[in-house]
Structure 1
Amino acid sequence: MKTSAVPAPDPKGIPSGPAPFQALSIAERLARRGLRRLLVLQVARTGLRLGFAASAAIATGRLVMGDPVDPWPAAAVIVLLASVCLAGLASDRAQASAETAVSVGLRGAAGERLDDMPARQLQSLSVGGVIVSMQRHPEAVAGLVVGHRAASRMMGAAPVLAAIALFLVSWQAALLVVCLTPVMILFLALVGDAIRRRADAQEHAFGRLAGQFADRIRTLPTILANHAMATEDAKLARRLETYADNTMSVLRIAFINAGIIDFFASLSIAILAVFLGLGHLKLAMIPGFSNLALWQSLFILMIAPEYFAPFRRFSEQYHAKAEGLAAAAALDRLLDAEPVGAKALPVLDRLSLALPEQGLVAIVGPSGSGKSTLLRRLAGLEPGGALDADALAGREIAWVSTDSYVPEGTLAEALSWSIDVPAGDNLKAAAGAIGLVNDALLPGGLEARLDRGGANLSGGQRLRIAIARAQLSGRIVLADEPTAKLDRQTAEAVRRMLLAISRSRLVVVATHDRDLAAAADMTVDLTPNDAIEVAA
């Protein structure tokens, strides 16, 4: 007998969406402690390098001029050199540790965001985009908030220390190197903007390449069946060439950036060397460069590179900045994507459906009529409707589909995942009933090895594992197209197991399978009509 479903009142209130995901803000919070420690070590290293330059200049000047060399300058040179090396090692280790902590924390936050996404929205994301975002982007953002931020702050502190050291010996020499700084910063800004634009293009190209590659791997059987390998290979080659061109473009600009720093550093040191040489040879009396002791001239020449070293380190990190900003924006776009709205199904939204305690319920109808949507609503994966909350309230659910989770390990471990199942005959019986024990493509029986995520399984094998696990769990079973894309023999085994389960508990299937629907105790027909038809 067929009856019309009773419309239920529309739900009141629309829940507010989650707060925007801000990868850069999260990374900055994670980096604070490590960045402070890194800056302390880098400032200490700069001070030690200046001390080393002073002691080395004094010792060398005395030695060249034939003056007696006290033991303390030589000992100071050795001690300070060792200290500089140790401080550099500690600084590098602190940077690596801080960047690792940031990338791990950011990846965890992104994972939690993905876990909280509605199923429909999660399924709409590009597999390649998710892989890139979870593996590549956190490291790039970490390089920005740790490496680049440390370099930018040291660019303000280290040159000041070097300029003060120069000022103590010759304020004219300090003024000379300081005067070149504005011009150098102007070039850095111009080149940095070009790097940022190229990095954005590179990030988009890589995302498209990864997405296309992941999609082609997923559809490889179809590609092979249609003899389209050459065409797809050409498409991937073009995307790879585009990505390579963008990468080389970024590297070319980065090399130009480093070359600008080297030019100004070399120019200033050359000018200092000429002025100091003319002063020592008495060929020109230049204020601040004449009548200097040899150790003072050596000190100036040793400190000048220290003044420009932070600018060079900053230019090397400019690529990290551009990459990190592009990665943070890409991560935000992925995790802040607009929720994928379900197709408008007003009748389904008002559906009130009473489900039996046990038996097989088949949800049927043409593609797009809302079968999977209704199933997700029953599972609580998607809001909407008034689907007799008492029917499934407080009862555990076993979800069955071709994308059901499969852990790494043995077949027995996959069958007993997340449920308490006595080992032995129960596992073997369930696996045998669904054709897993004697599967030629899964040798080893219950000890067959499964890769992480079930990478070595077909969709049919994954689905059969989910059904056997559902049978062992004792839970309500919700199955989405459980016999789709299966051969006749396997599909029949799946039907038999679902019917067997339905004799003791509730099984709800969304299906196009006429044989499975015909065996159901209750049918919900979503074929477009004035009302949803429910047949018992």
Structure 2
Amino acid sequence: MTAQPLAPSLAPRPWLSGAARPHRRLAGMAALATIADVAPAVGFAGGLALAVHHLPQSPVAAAPWIALAVVALAARGLLGQGALVLSARLARRVKADARTRALQALFASPGSADKRLTAAVEGVEALDGYYARFAPARTAAALSPLLLIAAAALASPMSAAILLFTLVPFIAGMALAGTAAAAESRRQFDALERLSGLFLDRVRALPALLAFGAEARTGAEIEQAATTLAARTSRVLRVAFLSSGVLEFFSALSVALVAVYCGFNLLRLLPFPTPETLDLPRALFVLALAPEVYAPMRRLAAAYHDRQAAEAAAPALQTPPVPAPASTTLGRHAPGVSFRSVAIGYGAAPVIQDLDLEVRPGQIVALTGASGSGKSSLLHLLLGLVPLADGEVEVGGAPMPPAGFAGQIAWASQNPVVLPGTLFSNIVLAHPQASRREVMRAAGLAGLHGDLDRPLDERGGGLSGGERRRLGLARALLKPAPLLLLDEPTANLDPESEARIIAVIRRAAEGRTTLVATHSPAVTALADRVVRL
């Protein structure tokens, strides 16, 4: 078996565009609602200008234009709310897709769990602002100013020329700010990944840290990583505030230039000849539109940090393709299992190498050997939890797929996973379609007598060590799987408890092919064949 090739990495921007491609209709609706804001903005400016013009005549003459301005304001509010709702919905869907892929990659590649976990949590959340704020603002900033300048040109071509000319330094300032912020955002996300990985690693090793009195040193390491993250975040904010100030300056300067031109034109005090002579309605119309021309650009500048955060997180969210679930089924009858020149390795030194083993259908095989000899790894190979480095594995005459046969195997580990809930809900996990009578029968055969509705916490509170083993065996008994894998089912049990568990194993192995990793002579005596690794 050869390793699956990784997906080629994309640049952040193409990946961000591709992530929204399955939801292009929703993205288009959000963009359209954002651009549609231009129409009520023009309506408000026109209504305001004409209302002021007709107000000296009579309030009745100004009433229709006041009504137009009020309706335009209400329409802007509705369009703005609609655009926000659509953008938030788009962001939610893209984040759900990205989180699903990140979690699939996490379980498919547990060796990179720290980075994958950070990507699934912090990285995915960094996409929210990009799709909810930046993407709609970018579309609006590309089209809305030009549409508004075109509307202004109908009233004053010179004012429109001033607005168009002053867009150049505004765009240049945004480009410079974005370049400065990109590197800082990338460093901030790297610092966040380091802090998350360090914290997760120290939590895992907490018992060892307490045992060796390393609390102070560990606290200092986490404090240093947190301080680094805070410094990176401050630099990002510093660049963001500086760029906002520069853009606000250019925006105010541009509006001031239009106001000066319109005012001097109305007073006929311009020191140079112009091809137009403004009246009050046209001047007011242009002055009301001038701030609107730069509003989309200002919103884009305010959301620019969202883009940098998303681009910084994008490389961690690009995941290799996860192998599709196995299409091969084991059927209902006990299969044979063949290992031919199998090698399993987590690094340079293989745990198992050149293993040849034939397990006949319905046979109970005990895997023995010293700790670290690869007994559990061989079982994990069939479950798809470890990669096959070399060789071939066949189950029931069919080659084992990369993901193993995890969904079709009855499995009892050394420490069965316990989820918050009841004993019944923990047993039925193995076969959700099972009836309550079937669950009670499996629990009785495994020796779990008493109330199946008793509550359990995530640490297995309410279960003894022997009962936890019986929980795993009850799951194996309940699941209608032709292959049974047991990993040290009687470890650390007294002889009496071990004898009872062995009786349960004998019942669970009926009609199945069974592989048991064990050190126990009593379990070994139960097997049809003993293989020492």
Structure 1 residues 206 and 347: alpha-carbon distance in aligned structure 2, compared to 1, 3 A threshold: closer
- 2:110 matched residue in structure 1: 123
Kindly indicate whether residue 238 of structure 2 is the aligned counterpart of residue 232 of structure 1.
no
For residues 218 and 524 of structure 2, the distance between their equivalents in structure 1, rounded to whole angstroms, comes to: 39
1:262-341 → structure 2 map (5 Å cutoff):
262-287=248-273, 291-332=277-318
Relative to structure 2, which stretch is displaced further, 270-279 or 258-267?
Answer: 270-279
For residues 459 and 104 of structure 1, the distance between their equivalents in structure 2, rounded to whole angstroms, comes to: 39
For residues 136 and 422 of structure 2, the distance between their equivalents in structure 1, rounded to whole angstroms, comes to: 47
- 2:423 matched residue in structure 1: 411
Give the conservation status (yes or no) of the 8 Å contact 1:103–1:142.
yes
Q: 1:26: Cα distance to partner?
A: 4.4
For residues 341 and 79 of structure 1, the distance between their equivalents in structure 2, rounded to whole angstroms, comes to: 68
Relative to structure 2, which stretch is displaced further, 106-115 or 56-65?
Answer: 106-115
- Secondary structure in 2 matching 1:365: coil
Query: What letter is aligned with 1:477?
Result: L
Which of 181, 188, 199 is the equivalent residue of 1:213?
199
Which of 140, 163, 167 is the equivalent residue of 2:126?
140
Give the conservation status (yes or no) of the 8 Å contact 2:442–2:477.
no
Query: What letter is aligned with 2:377?
Result: T
Normalising by structure 1, report the TM-score: 0.79
Which of 389, 402, 413 is the equivalent residue of 1:401?
413
For residues 276 and 405 of structure 1, the distance between their equivalents in structure 2, rounded to whole angstroms, comes to: 75
Q: 1:25: Cα distance to partner?
A: 5.3
- 2:327 matched residue in structure 1: none
Q: 1:375: Cα distance to partner?
A: 1.9
For residues 41 and 498 of structure 2, the distance between their equivalents in structure 1, rounded to whole angstroms, comes to: 74
Kindly indicate whether residue 237 of structure 2 is the aligned counterpart of residue 251 of structure 1.
yes
Query: What letter is aligned with 1:497?
Result: I
- 1:426 matched residue in structure 2: 441
For residues 195 and 403 of structure 1, the distance between their equivalents in structure 2, rounded to whole angstroms, comes to: 48
For residues 358 and 29 of structure 1, the distance between their equivalents in structure 2, rounded to whole angstroms, comes to: 51
1:160-239 → structure 2 map (5 Å cutoff):
160-239=146-225
1:442-453 → structure 2 map (5 Å cutoff):
446-450=452-456
Which string of whole-angstrom CA distances, capped at 9 and with x for unpartnered residues, describes residues 114-169 of structure 1? 56x3xxxx33132x433332233334335435632322222121110111122222
Give the conservation status (yes or no) of the 8 Å contact 1:21–1:332.
yes
- Secondary structure in 1 matching 2:20: helix
Relative to structure 2, which stretch is displaced further, 310-319 or 281-290?
Answer: 281-290
Which of 465, 468, 471 is the equivalent residue of 2:471?
465
Kindly indicate whether residue 61 of structure 2 is the aligned counterpart of residue 74 of structure 1.
no
- 2:362 matched residue in structure 1: 357
Structure 1 residues 492 and 380: alpha-carbon distance in aligned structure 2, compared to 1, 3 A threshold: farther
Give the conservation status (yes or no) of the 8 Å contact 2:427–2:439.
no
Structure 1 residues 284 and 153: alpha-carbon distance in aligned structure 2, compared to 1, 3 A threshold: same
Give the conservation status (yes or no) of the 8 Å contact 1:177–1:304.
yes
Give the conservation status (yes or no) of the 8 Å contact 1:362–1:511.
yes
Which of 96, 100, 104 is the equivalent residue of 1:104?
96
Which of 52, 56, 73 is the equivalent residue of 2:48?
56
- 2:83 matched residue in structure 1: 91
- 1:24 matched residue in structure 2: 16
For residues 260 and 365 of structure 1, the distance between their equivalents in structure 2, rounded to whole angstroms, comes to: 69
RMSD: 3.8
Structure 1 residues 165 and 65: alpha-carbon distance in aligned structure 2, compared to 1, 3 A threshold: farther
Structure with larger RCO (C-alpha < 8 A, sep 6+): 1
Relative to structure 2, which stretch is displaced further, 455-464 or 268-277?
Answer: 455-464
Structure 1 residues 18 and 290: alpha-carbon distance in aligned structure 2, compared to 1, 3 A threshold: closer
Structure 1 residues 113 and 124: alpha-carbon distance in aligned structure 2, compared to 1, 3 A threshold: closer
What 5-or-longer segments of structure 1 have no aligned partner?
A: 1-10, 438-444, 527-536
Give the conservation status (yes or no) of the 8 Å contact 1:198–1:250.
yes
For residues 187 and 383 of structure 2, the distance between their equivalents in structure 1, rounded to whole angstroms, comes to: 41
For residues 296 and 103 of structure 1, the distance between their equivalents in structure 2, rounded to whole angstroms, comes to: 46
Kindly indicate whether residue 415 of structure 2 is the aligned counterpart of residue 376 of structure 1.
no
- Secondary structure in 2 matching 1:447: coil
Kindly indicate whether residue 510 of structure 2 is the aligned counterpart of residue 509 of structure 1.
no
For residues 29 and 119 of structure 2, the distance between their equivalents in structure 1, rounded to whole angstroms, comes to: 28
- 2:339 matched residue in structure 1: none
Structure 1 residues 150 and 177: alpha-carbon distance in aligned structure 2, compared to 1, 3 A threshold: same
Structure 1 residues 108 and 28: alpha-carbon distance in aligned structure 2, compared to 1, 3 A threshold: same
Q: 1:308: Cα distance to partner?
A: 0.6
Query: What letter is aligned with 2:146?
Result: V
For residues 348 and 498 of structure 2, the distance between their equivalents in structure 1, rounded to whole angstroms, comes to: 30
Give identity over the alignment, percent. Answer: 30
For residues 168 and 464 of structure 2, the distance between their equivalents in structure 1, rounded to whole angstroms, comes to: 62
Relative to structure 2, which stretch is displaced further, 296-305 or 349-358?
Answer: 349-358
Structure 1 residues 228 and 39: alpha-carbon distance in aligned structure 2, compared to 1, 3 A threshold: same
Query: What letter is aligned with 1:125?
Result: S
Relative to structure 2, which stretch is displaced further, 418-427 or 258-267?
Answer: 418-427
Structure 1 residues 186 and 218: alpha-carbon distance in aligned structure 2, compared to 1, 3 A threshold: same
Relative to structure 2, which stretch is displaced further, 74-83 or 304-313?
Answer: 74-83
Give the conservation status (yes or no) of the 8 Å contact 1:404–1:462.
yes
For residues 191 and 495 of structure 1, the distance between their equivalents in structure 2, rounded to whole angstroms, comes to: 72
- 1:440 matched residue in structure 2: none
Query: What letter is aligned with 1:30?
Result: P
Which string of whole-angstrom CA distances, capped at 9 and with x for unpartnered residues, describes residues 83-103 of structure 1? 111111111111111111222
Q: How many pairs are equivalent?
A: 492
Which string of whole-angstrom CA distances, capped at 9 and with x for unpartnered residues, describes residues 507-533 of structure 1? 42334667766775533222xxxxxxx
Q: 1:175: Cα distance to partner?
A: 1.7
Which of 19, 32, 38 is the equivalent residue of 1:46?
38
- 1:36 matched residue in structure 2: 28
Give the conservation status (yes or no) of the 8 Å contact 2:439–2:478.
no
Q: 1:342: Cα distance to partner?
A: 5.7
Give the conservation status (yes or no) of the 8 Å contact 2:422–2:455.
yes
Structure 1 residues 431 and 351: alpha-carbon distance in aligned structure 2, compared to 1, 3 A threshold: closer
Q: 1:265: Cα distance to partner?
A: 0.8
Query: What letter is aligned with 1:17?
Result: P
Which of 395, 416, 430 is the equivalent residue of 1:389?
395
- 1:477 matched residue in structure 2: 484
Structure 1 residues 342 and 281: alpha-carbon distance in aligned structure 2, compared to 1, 3 A threshold: same
Give the conservation status (yes or no) of the 8 Å contact 1:481–1:509.
yes
Give the conservation status (yes or no) of the 8 Å contact 1:173–1:289.
no
Structure 1 residues 456 and 225: alpha-carbon distance in aligned structure 2, compared to 1, 3 A threshold: farther
Query: What letter is aligned with 1:415?
Result: I
Q: 1:354: Cα distance to partner?
A: 2.9
